[in-house]
Amino acid sequence: MDIEKVIEGRAFIDGELRYAEIGISEGRIVTVGRLVSGGDKRVDVGSSRIILPGFMDPHVHFRDPGMTNKETFDTGTMAAVHGGVTCVLDMPNTKPPVTDVQTLLDKKASVKGRANVDYGLFAAVTANVNAGMIAPLAPAFKLFMGSTTGNILLDEDEEMIPAVRDVLATGKRMSVHAEDDHLIAREVEHCTRDHLRNRPAEAEWNAIRRLASNFGGAKINICHLTTPEGLDMARAAGFTTEVTMHHMMFEVDRCTGAEYKVNPPLRDIGCRDRLFKRFLAGDIDMLGSDHAPHAAEEKAQEFDAAPGGIPGVETTMPIVMDMVRRDVIPMSQAVRMGAENPGRLFSVPKGRIAVGYDADLLVFDMRGSSTIDVRRLHSKCGHSPYGGFGAVFPETVMVRGEVQVEDGEFCGEPLGRDVCG
């Protein structure tokens, strides 16, 4: 096979940074070595920069179709690519929700040709779900055990257990919003402390406990874990785990306004700090932004009326890379949680610089730390709680070998593909 392009420099390969030349053909990595011959185009990133695999965000809500006043696939993937995310997995609670083959095909048709990164579209787990028909078209399924944006709650065992059994029989992974809806209260809320009161940690624990008792060892991913106790329960059950930046950075008594209203809720500072320690210890499988944008005017409503959700697809991995720069975590952990594990667990050939993988590559100058300027972010929602946070954004972003971002600026086109065709 003819090599079309060669990228040269210090690259993160098999757990370490070392000099390599990466040969690319038809969007895939076809050779990696000290010396790769051929290539019509050769790019040397220089000795001061590093090459990482593109990151994957396994949990975004791009609101398209049906809620495009908040975000569109165009703007959501534009935010993603600037944050070094070259593949996103989009959740099914859009309007209409993705609950069957036809709504999935309709959503595929709606977003086709508008994505700046590659993507997969989840389907929802509902009563009497036709999982066998849907599975070839979706990278995974999503189960909502707790009420949140959209109306696809499935929390009664007599309907949930057979539906989950059908989904797992397809071999696809099932991600879960693990809050037991029976334990969620509907009292009036004035601040995040009230929101936490309505959605206690016990709701997370009981949801995981119910899953473990019926499906221990199954291909289940617990989304946006908020407590170390929930983490321990999920790990003991053999489930994979995902954590968000907001549950590790913010706490309920300092972050009180609707900007921080999110499901599951922010916890108290002690719980947050213990969760962050487990992140530092490498006990969690993946980072997911749970990018859940709402329009600024919606978030500006009285707390009880404001919707829950925090945007984060553009900021999560740059904040993580700043942690790497400051030696808070090793680079191997950032790559494992942000690239390797999501690609492996959702069976997408991304997340590694290795032969056979998509040529999704990032170039970072680790000396180039900045602070997040909300005005420069690309989500349509136009707001973020991460303003002023330290971050290292990628200088160059390639999706399947094609440069989408150069010198931090978008220079590409909407070439994103559906990972399930």
Q: Beta 41-44 vs 85-90: how paired, if at all?
A: unpaired
Residue 305 and residue 297 in contact, taking contact as beta carbons nearer than 8 Å:
no
Find tokens 């108290």 and name the residue.
268
- Both tokens of 353, joined, read 């610089």
**Nearest-angstrom CA–CA distance, 361 and 87:** 11
* Secondary structure of residue 79 in the 3-state scheme: helix
**Nearest-angstrom CA–CA distance, 290 and 313:** 8
Q: Which residues contact 258 (CB under 8 A, 6 or more apart)?
A: 299, 300, 301, 302, 303, 306
Helix runs in 328-393, H state only:
331-335, 341-345
Q: How large is the angle between the packed helices 201-215 and 228-236, nearest 10 degrees? A: 0
- Both tokens of 417, joined, read 């593909």
Q: Beta 123-124 vs 140-144: how paired, if at all?
A: parallel
Instruction: Put the strands of the sheet holding 118-121 in their side by side order.
Output: 55-60, 85-90, 118-121
- Both tokens of 51, joined, read 């090459």
Q: Which residues contact 302 (CB under 8 A, 6 or more apart)?
A: 258
Count other Cβ atoms within 10 Å, centred on residue 11: 22
Indicate which residue of 285, 290, 322, 358 is catalytic: 290
* Secondary structure of residue 13 in the 3-state scheme: strand
* Secondary structure of residue 101 in the 3-state scheme: helix
Residue 154 and residue 99 in contact, taking contact as beta carbons nearer than 8 Å:
no
**For residue 255, which of 298, 195, 322 has the smallest C-alpha distance?**
195
**Nearest-angstrom CA–CA distance, 221 and 240:** 5
- Both tokens of 161, joined, read 């257990």
For residue 65, say if its preceding peptide bond is cis, omega within 30 degrees of 0: yes
Q: What angle do CA 162, 344, 354 make, to 5 degrees?
A: 160
407 in active site: no
Q: Beta 41-44 vs 28-33: how paired, if at all?
A: unpaired
Catalytic residues: 290
